[in-house]
């Protein structure tokens, strides 16, 4: 019987579960340091640099999108198009989701006038997707107050094109102009 215990997953007894969860939380906090150390070693070996996130034309941006994965490529293309038109658009591509680099993200976004967080999954809590929740939570704890909206997109593999991303930036420009967020929980590319 004991030799087959691996089939059922890890076991923790109630008497110590709380303490182990606390240790697990501390380990996640400490993982950020280790991840940066490994990233530096990887850069020495390959010349490629990876941090918690990638900033694209964010330094002088006024509005920005926060997203993950391949959507960042489409967003970079859109940022370049908007920059040619004089729009100070930027991108923060999250590379590490767990542990979430809340303080670092808040600092990187603190100078902006409006932010959109793109989530490729909806949440059953009716207050935005997981990335949105982590971004706004990190900003709140860091005392960073920038108008932020959430867009759920791409569910079921639905394509998200540059035109869709440009619509998000246009919405952000409108938020900056009017100072009105409206509904912060939005859908991008959904048929109404």
Whole-angstrom distance, CA of residue 33 vs CA of residue 15: 30
Whether the Cβ atoms of residue 109 and residue 144 lie closer than 8 Å to each other? yes
Percentage, residues of the chain above pLDDT 90: 87
pLDDT band at 181 (very low <50, low <70, confident <90, very high): very high
Amino acid 13: pLDDT:
79
Prediction pTM value: 0.91
Q: What is the mean pLDDT of residues 87-98?
A: 97
Tens digit of each residue's pLDDT (9 = 90 or more) over 150-172: 999 999 999 999 999 999 999 99
Whole-angstrom distance, CA of residue 116 vs CA of residue 150: 6
DSSP per-residue string spanning the chain: -GGGGGGG-----HHHHHHHHHHHHHHHHHHHHHHHHHHHHHHHHHS----SEEEES-TT-SEEEEEETTHHHHHHHHHHHHHHTT--EEEEEE---SS--HHHHHHHHTT-SEEEEEESS--TTSS--HHHHHHHHHHHHTT----EEEEEE-GGG----HHHHHHHHHHHHHHHHH-----SEEEES---
Amino acid 1: pLDDT:
46
Task: State in Å, rounded, how far the first CA of the chain is from the last one.
Answer: 55
Amino acid 126: pLDDT:
87
Tens digit of each residue's pLDDT (9 = 90 or more) over 31-77: 999 999 999 999 999 999 999 999 999 999 999 999 999 999 999 99
Whole-angstrom distance, CA of residue 81 vs CA of residue 149: 22
């Amino acid at each position: 019987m004991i030799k087959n215990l691996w089939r059922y997953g890890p076991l923790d007894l109630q008497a110590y579960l709380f303490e182990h969860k606390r240790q697990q939380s501390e380990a996640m906090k400490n993982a950020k340091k280790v991840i940066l150390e490994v990233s530096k070693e990887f850069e020495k070996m390959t010349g490629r640099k990876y941090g918690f996130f990638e900033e694209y034309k964010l330094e002088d941006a006024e509005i920005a999108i926060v997203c993950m994965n391949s959507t960042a490529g489409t967003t970079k293309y859109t940022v370049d198009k908007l920059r040619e038109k004089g729009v100070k658009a930027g991108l923060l591509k999250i590379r590490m989701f767990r542990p979430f680099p809340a303080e670092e993200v808040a600092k990187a976004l603190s100078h902006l006038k409006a932010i959109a967080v793109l989530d490729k999954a909806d949440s059953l809590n009716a207050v935005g997707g997981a990335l949105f929740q982590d971004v706004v939570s990190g900003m709140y704890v860091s005392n960073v107050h920038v108008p932020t909206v959430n867009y759920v997109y791409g569910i079921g593999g639905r394509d998200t094109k540059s035109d869709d991303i440009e619509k998000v930036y246009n919405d952000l420009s409108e938020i900056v102009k009017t100072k009105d967020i409206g509904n912060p929980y939005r859908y991008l590319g959904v048929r109404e």
